Amino acid sequence: MSERIRYAIAGCTGRMGRTLIEAVLNDEQSELVAALEHPASPELGKDAAQFLGAPCSVLIESDIDAALAKADCLIDFTRPEGTLAHLEVCRRHGVHIAVGTTGFSVEGKRAIADAAQEIPVVFAPNMAVGVNAVFKLLDVAARILNQGYDIEVIEAHHRHKVDAPSGTALRMGEVVAAALGRDLADCAVYGREGHTGERPETQIGFSTIRGGDIVGDHTVLFAGTGERIEITHKSASRMSYALGALRAGRFMRERKNGLYDMQDVLGLR
């Protein structure tokens, strides 16, 4: 590897892709070597940093093999089907990958774990450092508030988000359920309507809001008798996700393979 980490960015003209490009260009330990879009994109051949008003001489391309042949690490916040296709090319080239994509099926998650036997993979539903601090706080809170508290997860995102609940909300539910010795698949409820009956004590509820340009708000509510505890994270910018992805890239630099998440990257295990 070169002294600086050479990054390729997937989905480079999207909201998250542009934020990742800006983060890489502003980081002294990083170098942008490839910016990827789908073959039908009208942006192909244009400078990847034109939106910043300061060209970087990296042109947007669609040839994933050519792009990864010059990269150390791919950062991918796209769609599951695209990420899984990119993952196979990463395996071929021995390129590390930071996956911030959400909405994977069980089979998709299995494919990621399989690839991690050959290359380093950081796979996290949310790469923001603050969110991962919240995951740790939720583990502690759930162990303390393990009796007499009803648990609800509330999340809000922009109108363009295609999966619900968000991957971050689901991960929050998983952290809380694990701390309480439960399986989220057995105790989660993702919507209530009509005559639902009394709330089961062990239930973990999810509420989803979609609208406007909300970057990402998440709250876990512990509702007890006479008190409520709320642990909340609000994102004002996608830059927090991008900066976390760069920390993931640095973490993978000295590793040959393995499946990791941001708790590993931040030393929170």
Parse the chain into domains and list their residue ranges. 5-127+238-265, 129-235
- Strand order across the beta sheet in which 150-157 lies: 188-189, 204-210, 150-157, 216-223, 228-235
Query: pLDDT tens for residues 1-21?
Result: 458 999 999 999 999 999 999
| 199 C-beta neighbours (distance < 10 Å), count | 13
- Predicted confidence (pLDDT) at residue 250 exceeds the cutoff of 70: yes
Average pLDDT, the chain: 96
In sequence order, the 6+-apart residues with CB closer than 8 A to the CB of 113 are 259
Q: Which of 53-57, 114-118, 207-211, 230-234 has the lowest mean pLDDT?
A: 53-57
Q: Beta strand 30-36 with 5-9: parallel, antiparallel or unpaired?
A: parallel
Residue 218 annotated to the active site = no
CATH label, 5-127+238-265, candidates 3.40.605.10, 3.40.50.720, 3.40.50.1220, 3.60.110.10: 3.40.50.720
Determine the pLDDT at residue 1: 47
Q: Which of 86, 96, 157, 218 does the annotation list as catalytic? A: 157
Residue 84 dihedral angles phi and psi, to the nearest 5°: -65, -35
* Percentage above 70 pLDDT, the chain: 99
Handedness of CA 10, 11, 15, 18 (dihedral sign): positive
- Predicted confidence (pLDDT) at residue 125 exceeds the cutoff of 90: no
Determine the pLDDT at residue 2: 55
Report how far residue 143's alpha carbon sits from residue 179's, in angstroms, rounded to the nearest whole number: 6
Mean pLDDT calculated for residue range 210-236: 97
Mean pLDDT calculated for residue range 208-236: 97
b/e per residue, 150-163, with b = 16+ CB within 10 A?
A: bbbbbbbbeeebee
List beta partners, residue 7.
32, 73
Whether the Cβ atoms of residue 204 and residue 176 lie closer than 8 Å to each other = yes
Query: pLDDT tens for residues 161-202?
Result: 999 999 999 999 999 999 999 999 999 999 999 999 999 999
Handedness of CA 184, 185, 186, 187 (dihedral sign): positive
Instruction: For tokens 């796209």, name the residue.
Output: 78
Report how far residue 112's alpha carbon sits from residue 143's, in angstroms, rounded to the nearest whole number: 30
Residue 161 annotated to the active site = yes
Alpha helices in the chain (DSSP H): 15-25, 64-68, 80-93, 106-115, 129-144, 167-179, 184-187, 239-252, 262-265
The 3-state DSSP class for residue 181 equals coil
Whether the Cβ atoms of residue 90 and residue 36 lie closer than 8 Å to each other = no
Whether the Cβ atoms of residue 72 and residue 98 lie closer than 8 Å to each other = no
Mean pLDDT calculated for residue range 205-212: 98
Largest Cα–Cα separation, the chain: 62
What pTM does this model have? 0.86
Report how far residue 119's alpha carbon sits from residue 256's, in angstroms, rounded to the nearest whole number: 6
Report how far residue 33's alpha carbon sits from residue 77's, in angstroms, rounded to the nearest whole number: 17
Tell me the fold of 129-235.
Dihydrodipicolinate Reductase; domain 2 (3.30.360)
Q: Beta strand 96-99 with 30-36: parallel, antiparallel or unpaired?
A: unpaired
Residue 38 dihedral angles phi and psi, to the nearest 5°: -70, 155
Q: Which of 161, 195, 218, 256 does the annotation list as catalytic? A: 161
Return the closest-CA partner of residue 59 out of 45, 49, 79.
45
Determine the pLDDT at residue 96: 98
| pLDDT band at residue 253 under the 50/70/90 scheme | very high
Mean pLDDT calculated for residue range 35-50: 96
Determine the pLDDT at residue 103: 87
Query: How many residues can be counted in the chain?
Result: 269
